[in-house]
Amino acid sequence: MLTTASSADAYPDKLRRVRFKDPETGKRYTFLTNDFTLPALTVAKLYKSRWEAEIFFRWIKQRLRIKRFYGTSPNAVKTQIWVAISVYVLVAMVRKRLQLEREPYTLLQILSVCLFEKMPLEQALARSAYTPEDVQIPNQLQLFTL
């Protein structure tokens, strides 16, 4: 049972504590569950699988930039994820083949702007020699001229 007043009010039922030592890393983990029928090792494996799913979805949000799903059916979600993964892999292949140092997300932004332009891919993705620091504005006051 949870002992503090706020946690006991939030969850008044009994819980089971499962302790697990990972043989690969030597780390010790403690899990709370309301399932009293599963073996402790099964509970630990379920939590590990859940954590791997969380890591996968974090990767999807960070790398594939999927903010929301356009459809709600399982097929629509799977299709959107597969399309995003395919685009990510294609950009990674282009990045490697052209030996570009830019991040894949930057390359995707460049490609989205140049989508309907007739220009070679190498030219669109080549690093421009122009940078804003190169420009000196004569009537601009300098903030840090020490």
Per residue in 78-108, pLDDT (tens digit) is: 999 999 999 989 988 988 988 888 888 888 8
Give the per-residue pLDDT at 17. 93
Give the per-residue pLDDT at 61. 82
Q: What is the average pLDDT value for the chain, to the nearest integer?
A: 84
Is residue 43 a contact partner of residue 50, using CB atoms and an 8 Å limit?
Answer: no
Per residue in 123-141, pLDDT (tens digit) is: 877 765 445 555 566 666 6
- Select the more confidently predicted residue: 13 or 129: 13
Rounded to whole angstroms, the Cα distance separating 97 from 122 reads 10
User: What would the two tokens of residue 110 be?
Assistant: 């460049």
